[in-house]
Amino acid sequence: MVQGTPLLPDSRLTLRRLSLVSDLQEEGKNAINLPMCPAPVEVHPEDSLLEENEERTVIDPTSRDDPRFKELVKALIDWINGVLVEERIIVKQLEEDLYDGQVLQKLLEKLADCKLNVAEVTQSEIGQKQKLQTVLEAVQELLRPHSRPLQWTVDSIHGKNLVAILHLLVALAMHFRAPIHLPEHVSVQVVVVRKREGLLHSSHVTEELTTTTEMMMGRFERDAFDTLFDHAPDKLSVVKKSLITFVNKHLNKLNLEVTELETQFADGVYLVLLMGLLEDYFVPLHNFYLTPDSFDQKVHNVSFAFELMLDGGLKKPKARPEDVVNLDLKSTLRVLYNLFTKYKHLE
């Protein structure tokens, strides 16, 4: 019988550790993949090595693959990278790039135009958590007027909890009126794994990451267009047809014609020209971009049109210029309906 090479003590210890990780990983999978679970959820070894009463959350793979969830994550990553372009910081994966507080610190300092009293580079877990604590306290101070319960903690962010990180970023994007379009009504199925009496237990919950733009911005008053979209979508085409007839009645004077409300007003050019026609004046071409080729130029045009509306005696539009540029139909309809209400009797 051929004898194998004896294992050294360190090798035996390594094998025991690998076996422990494998056993705990299997225990975690068994706890999560219950008969009622709609889809298997991947559990990493570190998610299984929990302390007593500690919990971890795992987003269901089906939710991760949802197009609206992916759109939300991409929009937030692009926004962060845009804000921090001068810092030469590039975020690729939210949970891996934001957990230590470094990027969040730079993001908040840039957005709030402030300087936080934290160490620039922290390698230790204690140092990272101290930095996160300072950053999140500053965030809480900013968001306090809204009196909303915070859906993140130092431990959840540092623990790479993607749901908590997304809640934080959505709140920051809304507070600072980020020039991005966040998809509405994004929810994810989350598996919560908790260790009790040495065993892993799981439960399933639904996390709502975004609601409507109005709700997230703190504008809770509803109007006719909320009702129209929610309860009478069949009448939407009638409203759109009436508004198209109204705007073309005036834009035709410049040999312009609108067929798609949600796209043709998005760059602000038609809005500016329409205001000039309605108020009977010529808008100098140097005041706006006739052929805008960037997001910022389009936002400038729509913002300028809003200023012309205020000068004409209209109330400040409920919509944001960024929403119109981002092809948000409800926002565009609100703006045009305000014009229709005041100028519908003009010849």
> 141 has which bridge partners?
none
Average pLDDT over residues 109-130: 86
Note the maximum CA span of the chain.
105
- Choice between 195 and 127, residue whose per-residue pLDDT is larger: 127
Amino acid type, 196: R
Using alpha carbons, select from 321, 54, 315, 32 the residue that is nearest to residue 181: 321
Query: Rounded to the nearest 5°, which phi and psi values hold at 98?
Result: -110, -10
Q: Which of 20-34, 41-55, 151-165, 228-242 has the highest mean pLDDT?
A: 151-165
- CA separation for the pair 79, 173 (Å, rounded): 9
The whole-chain average pLDDT of the chain stands at 80
- CA separation for the pair 339, 333 (Å, rounded): 10
Is it the case that residue 36 has pLDDT exceeding 70?
no
- CA separation for the pair 181, 213 (Å, rounded): 9
Q: What does the CA dihedral 131, 135, 136, 142 come to, rounded to 10 degrees?
A: 160
Q: Which residue has the tokens 């009645």?
A: 249
The string of pLDDT tens digits covering residues 184-204 is 889 999 988 888 877 888 888
The string of pLDDT tens digits covering residues 265-291 is 999 999 999 999 999 999 999 999 999
Amino acid type, 124: S
Q: Which pLDDT belongs to residue 247? A: 94
Average pLDDT over residues 116-131: 85
pLDDT bin (cut points 50, 70, 90) of residue 13 is very low
Q: How many CA atoms lie within 13 A of 47 on its CB side?
A: 23
**CB-based contact 55:194 (threshold 8 Å):** yes
Angle, CA 44 vertex, CA 28 and CA 95 arms, to 5°:
130
Average pLDDT over residues 171-180: 84
Q: HEC string of the chain?
A: CCCCCCCCHHHHHHHHHHHHHHHHHHHHHHHHCCCCCCCCCCCCHHHHCCCCCCEEEEECHHHHCCHHHHHHHHHHHHHHHHHCHHHCCCCCCHHHHHCCCHHHHHHHHHHHCCCCCCCCCCCCHHHHHHHHHHHHHHHHHHHHHHCCCCCCCHHHHHCCCHHHHHHHHHHHHHHCCCCCCCCCCCEEEEEEEEEECCEEEEEEEEEECCCCHHHHCCCCCCCHHHHHHHHCHHHHHHHHHHHHHHHHHHHHHHCCCCCCHHHHCCCCHHHHHHHHHHHCCCCCHHHCCCCCCCHHHHHHHHHHHHHHHHHCCCCCCCCCHHHHHCCCHHHHHHHHHHHHHHHCCCC
Residue 7 zone, left/alpha/beta (φ > 0; ψ -120 to 50; rest)? beta
**CA 269 distance to own-chain centroid:** 27
pLDDT bin (cut points 50, 70, 90) of residue 29 is very low
Average pLDDT over residues 157-177: 90
**CB-based contact 43:66 (threshold 8 Å):** no
Is it the case that residue 76 has pLDDT exceeding 50?
yes
Is it the case that residue 21 has pLDDT exceeding 50?
no
Is it the case that residue 65 has pLDDT exceeding 60?
yes
pLDDT bin (cut points 50, 70, 90) of residue 333 is confident
**CB-based contact 57:163 (threshold 8 Å):** yes
Using alpha carbons, select from 286, 295, 296, 250 the residue that is nearest to residue 271: 250
